[in-house]
Amino acid sequence: MSESNENKKTGGCDCDLGLAFIVLRLWLGVRALLAGIEKFGKATATPVAVIDPTTGQPDASGVMHNVNIKHYAFANYAGVPDALKEKFALEPLLPKFGLSLFDHLLGPLFILTGIMLLVGLGTRISLFVQALLYLALTVGLILIDKPDGIAYLGIHVALVAFALALAKHNKLAILKKW
């Protein structure tokens, strides 16, 4: 059945595809925004007194346990985690300047593309940039042999590709063309 006949049959509404795109756009936008923000987070172990359940007061023996408390700051920024950065530094196929550049740009690019998707500003461009980021991350994980992460990123690339395929149904956007 042709597309025009299908539109006549459904009353000329591509509502399902438009809603599917909005759902993908919101999911990918939130995912990117929070992934970028998490690059600025750091958990620190803070000793806290054990509370006696009967009295509700700190244990008299002074027993302490560590509680991880997360806080966000520009000083905490790490685009690539230190453990992976060491592995990447040993990989001869990754140029050192490229690793440093990628490390500095990863978080801000995720935040920027996430906001762009959520607002509807240049959705196609932001989706394409996210696809490139996920592809770059995939290349890095291939080189250090992390198959679980590779599959995980492959799902993200597929979601972005699907969102790009549905982009023509983008109804709520500031710049629909881009």
The Cβ-side half-sphere exposure at 99, using a 13 Å CA radius, reads 19
The count of structural domains within the chain is: 2
Q: State the amino acid at position 155 in one-letter form.
A: I
**Shared-domain flag, residues 18 and 52:** no
pLDDT digit string (tens) for 104-134?
Answer: 999 999 999 999 999 998 899 999 999 999 9
Q: Do 86 and 145 belong to one domain?
A: yes
Residue 57 belongs to a domain: yes
- Give 157's DSSP letter: H
Note whether 109 and 121 are same-domain residues.
yes
Q: How far is CA 5 from CA 9, 10, 22, 168, in A?
A: 6, 9, 25, 19
* Residue 126 phi, psi dihedral angles, 5° rounding: -65, -35
Both 100 and 21 in one domain: the answer is yes
**Residues 126 and 48 both lie in one domain:** no
129 and 51 share one domain:
no
Same domain, yes or no, for 96 and 59? no
| Length of the chain as a residue count | 178
Residue 144: domain span: 8-39+79-169
Type of residue numbered 45: A
Q: Report pLDDT for 173.
A: 73
How far is residue 70's CA from residue 65's CA, in Å, rounded to a whole number? 16
- Residue that finishes a domain, picked among 54, 76, 98: 76
CA atoms within 13 A on the CB side of 111: 12
In this structure, the answer to whether residues 87 and 139 fall within a common structural domain is yes
Q: Taking the model in full, what pTM does it have?
A: 0.79
Helix (H, G, I), strand (E, B) or coil at 44: strand
Least trusted range by pLDDT, from 7-16, 46-55, 59-68: 7-16
Residues 33 and 116 in one domain: yes
Strand runs labelled E in the chain: 41-49, 64-72
